[in-house]
Chain A
Amino acid sequence: MSPSVTTQETVVRPPGLQLIINGQICRLDTGSSVAPTTTLASLLREHFALTGLKIPCDQGACGACTVIMDGKAVLSCMVLAVEAHGHEILTIEGLPSDDCIVKAFAEQSEPGYGTALQCGFCTPGFVMTARALLDRVPSPTVSEIKEALSGNICRCGCYAGIVQAVLHASEIMAKASAR
């Protein structure tokens, strides 16, 4: 665990902070220190080196830190590390290597819609939001996709391609389940 994240006086040491991250039980040893202000986003990146999620805003405005907590997409910069105690976290590193959403985002390239990513900084957040959506609604409408992704910002402006990628992922899922 990284050193204290606030001044000496405010360090707390919650015993036995335990999470399930990508299917693995993760315990922070009792000697580690987590400040009350340490966010789940910071914990995942700094301690577990899960750098797929990004922290561009650190205030719940951009969606790039999205992870799935107990099946629901959450902004990990708005969840305190201690709040995640006992919960199950899925980060983008925990998706299977052939995840259909990752594949659909990567391969999106279509006249009239373009790609689903350019710089790629926001992409893991979009993928995780989309993952939570498709887990809940396997065949969403365009309107449902836009609503679900409304908390994610793509500064490169690939929104049209992103919606297409989610639609394509949904189609891949439907085909797979039909088999």
Chain B
Amino acid sequence: MKPPYTPRVQRSYVGAYRPRIDGIEKASGRAKYAGDLMLKCRVPGLLYAKVLRSPFPHARIRGLDMSQASQLRGVADVLTFEDPDVAGLKSTNAGWTDGVDTLSYERMMWRRFRDRRVLGSHARWVGDEVGAVVAAESEEIAEEALRLIKVDWELLPFVLDPVDAMAPGAPILHPELGDTNVLPEDTVGGADVFVDKGDIDQGLADADVVLHATTTYHNATQNSLDNWNCLIEWSRDHITVWSNSYEAHQTRMHISEMLDVPLNSVRVVSPYVGGQFGRGDTGDQPFFLFTALLAKRTGRPVWFRHSRRESFHDGRQHVCYEGTIGAKNDGTITALSFNSIGNVGAYADHSMFAIKFAPVEATEVAFAHIPNVRFEGRGVYTNKMPACMMRGVGNSQLNLILGRLVDGLGEELNIDPLDLACKNFGHEWEQLPNKSLVTVLRTGAARISWKEKRHSAGEGPTLDGVKRRGVGFSFHPGWHAEWQELRRGEVHVTMTVNADCSITLDAPTVETGTGSNTCNVLGCAEALSFLGIGSGDIHWISTVDTDASPQDCVQTDSSVSFLQSEVMAAASKEVKAKLLERIAPLLEAAPAELDIDAGFVYRRDAAGCRRSVKELLHEASLDPITVAVSRRPLGARTGIPFIDVRRCGGQHRHWPGAGPSARCGQRLRDCHVRVRCRSPADRRSVHCVG
């Protein structure tokens, strides 16, 4: 039996378990996703696009014979790499932004790695989109047309292992970028040695025990059920895109910049999305561009979608880690060093973000009290599937090696790894032991019966003759605060009070399942509680439309709820002021003499004389009152968030590839639970989901 949830501060709407606002819509099948709009019966003239994919890990197209494919009945258009429409497009990268900000071509995050061509002729992995794309009356006809294309392939030597790819003489994947497969140092992630604190050699010399370990993190895939798709119409110089990509304004920027059309000529519409898990972070995909070009050339709407197989073509990248840890006999860690090699696959995308971002954040929030820390990392091209972001970008890879090292240290020193974590890990702003970490770990340990179930490697029970089980924990105290979200720019919210006191809330963010829509409505109800309304009186606009909505706040960092809530709190004050301005003449008073509480207006100096807001609104002008507020996240570092996890250690899984005693807990941001974050300056509620 789990203890009941008790919020620290009792509020009307925030701080309790409540059903999702989209529950009925989704459970009844009425919620519309992008693919539900793209039916032939709903979109007259719809064409289906399919792209040629390389069957070889490394090859060049010497030539294409399209004669049979183009003559197939039902084929409306074929576009090849030799066509000026695509040959003239700039080289690009699928990760212009990590979803936080909206970035142009010149300012994209990875401008050192513009390694993608839109429909190029150089295939770098099995599945690479190259050569040609077909638009046809059905997907099956398009697929048949692809089979009829005669491709003259020049097969090239390939390399799959990143260490082999670094060796002299290895086949070079991107000769246009340099004569090595090692990615150059970039301006975002920093130098190859990107953390160098204290003196690592001295730290190891001071240690009583030094341990080394290596880990290779396997790939994983986001694989949301809603396969990536887009429907594009290009009519009279105006492009309309319906998509389940989750960053509408960034998609608009991407298409505008790559196809050289004004921003206001591109409209992106994003309804509900059936999960994304980080996939959308490489949202600047070439498929948007060739689909748009097909729509332009044919004058008809064109739909491109990934098949289930193709939806596996993204994921969390392999990272090989080598780690060294040094500690005193009492468990005090004196040195921590990591050297990583990221197998980025054929295209860099966001790989360097995973390789460098997570360790840097960990340095601030977990390793701040270790005196000597050194991180070195590099990305290497290989002829494998490119991989980039997945929930908790880079954290799982880092936590695997960290868990190995701490586990080994615990065995060597005969100290419980939990105690080692509590003794050594903590935020830069807090003295050890870190209260947050200790609370989470001790509570989780009690709930999973850590002491009773813990055993040494190889000594645990065997289930069904083959399965080995162990308990474990992860200690990555990742978190996001407003100052970390500064790059988002302004966060927008528009509140409209209608004449009947119902509310229309435009807090634009593409709903991918995270529940920030519910948090927004509850936050709005809390902020407007003076109107005496409930969450049922608030309509949240569920579709982001760049022609109608302010810039959307992209679902990353588990931060949308608190960022938009802060803006709603500001907007609610303006709503009250405007309401009083509207109502005051009816009461023959100045706005400053009035106030509103629980749905009633009253004179501050005459308690008891109260009139319903709703009634007064009907008597006044019936014009809706609209307040649009935008605000940048606060730049000040407000303090240490206290994280109170209500359900984190209840499940334990075996970590694939690790021994039975390996660390195997869930990260906070992946544990699908509601957490409350509290800082000294303010309180925020975040719904953490995958």
Contacts and interface: CB of A to CB of B under 8 A. Distances in A.
Contacts of B42: 49
Interface in A92-150: 92-93, 95, 97, 99, 101-103, 105-112, 114-124, 127
Interface residues of B, number: 57
Contacts of A49: 39, 41-42
B84 interface: no
A157 interface: yes
Contact of A110 (B17, B22, B689): B17
B72 A2 contact: no
Given A3-B138, A118-B513, A120-B31, A107 B74 contact: no
Nearest to B223: A155
Nearest to B1: A112
Contact of B227 (A56, A123, A158): A56
A59 B308 contact: yes
A120 B646 contact: no
A7 B69 CA distance: 12
B364 interface: no
A53 B20 CA distance: 21
A57 B144 CA distance: 20
B24 A119 contact: no
Contact of B275 (A59, A106, A156): A156
Contact of A54 (B72, B225, B307): B225
A72 interface: no
Given A45-B39, A52-B30, A111-B4, A120 B272 contact: yes
Given A3-B137, A49-B39, A118 B515 contact: yes
B317 interface: no
B41 A64 contact: no
Contact of A56 (B36, B41, B226, B689): B226
B274 A93 contact: no
Contacts of A24: none
A2 B138 contact: yes
A8 interface: yes
B273 A119 contact: yes
A102 B24 contact: yes
B690 A58 contact: no
9 contacts: A45-B36, A52-B30, A108-B23, A111-B646, A119-B512, A120-B25, A120-B274, A121-B33, A156-B513
B672 A112 contact: no
Interface in A32-75: 35, 37, 45-47, 49, 51-54, 56-59, 61-62, 64
A120 B27 contact: yes
B112 interface: no
Contacts of A99: 28
Given A108-B19, A120-B22, 10 more contacts: A7-B144, A54-B35, A62-B225, A92-B29, A106-B19, A106-B23, A114-B672, A115-B19, A122-B225, A155-B275
B236 interface: no
A54 B39 contact: no
Interface of B: 2, 4-5, 17-20, 22-33, 35-36, 39-42, 72-74, 137-138, 140-141, 144, 223-227, 272-275, 277, 307-308, 512-515, 646-647, 650, 672-674, 689-690
B19 A56 contact: no
Nearest to B515: A118
Nearest to B138: A5
A4 interface: yes
A62 B224 CA distance: 11
Nearest to A51: B36
Contacts of A121: 33, 224-226, 274-275, 513
A117 B272 contact: no
Nearest to A91: B29
A111 B17 contact: yes
B2 A111 contact: yes
Interface string A1-14: 01111111000000
B19 A109 contact: yes
A84 interface: no
A153 interface: yes
Given A106-B27, A120-B513, A2 B225 contact: no
A106 to B, nearest CB: 3
Contacts of B308: 56-59, 61
A103 B424 CA distance: 48
B73 A123 contact: no
B29 A51 contact: yes
Contacts of A112: 2, 647, 650
A170 B207 CA distance: 61
Nearest to A120: B26
Contacts of B273: 119
A82 to B, nearest CB: 16
A106 B138 contact: no
Contacts of B672: 114, 118, 156-158
With most chain B CB atoms within 10 A of its CB, the pick from A37, A52, A95, A101 is A52
A114 B673 contact: yes
Nearest to B646: A111
A55 B138 CA distance: 16
A52 to B, nearest CB: 2
B27 A46 contact: no
A91 to B, nearest CB: 8
Contact of B689 (A6, A61, A118): A118
B29 A53 contact: yes
Contacts of B24: 102-103, 106
A108 B23 CA distance: 9
Contacts of A119: 26, 224-226, 272-275, 512-513
A106 B26 contact: yes
B28 A95 contact: yes
Nearest to A53: B29
Contacts of A4: 74, 137-138
A116 B17 CA distance: 13
A46 B17 contact: no
A70 B39 CA distance: 27
A46 B41 contact: yes
A19 to B, nearest CB: 17
A43 B433 CA distance: 61
A96 B225 CA distance: 26
Contacts of B274: 54, 56, 119-122
Contacts of A52: 28-30
A35 B73 CA distance: 16
Which of B138, B225, B275 has the most chain A CB atoms inside 10 A of its CB?
A: B225
A124 to B, nearest CB: 4
B340 to A, nearest CB: 28
Contacts of A59: 308
B226 A105 contact: no
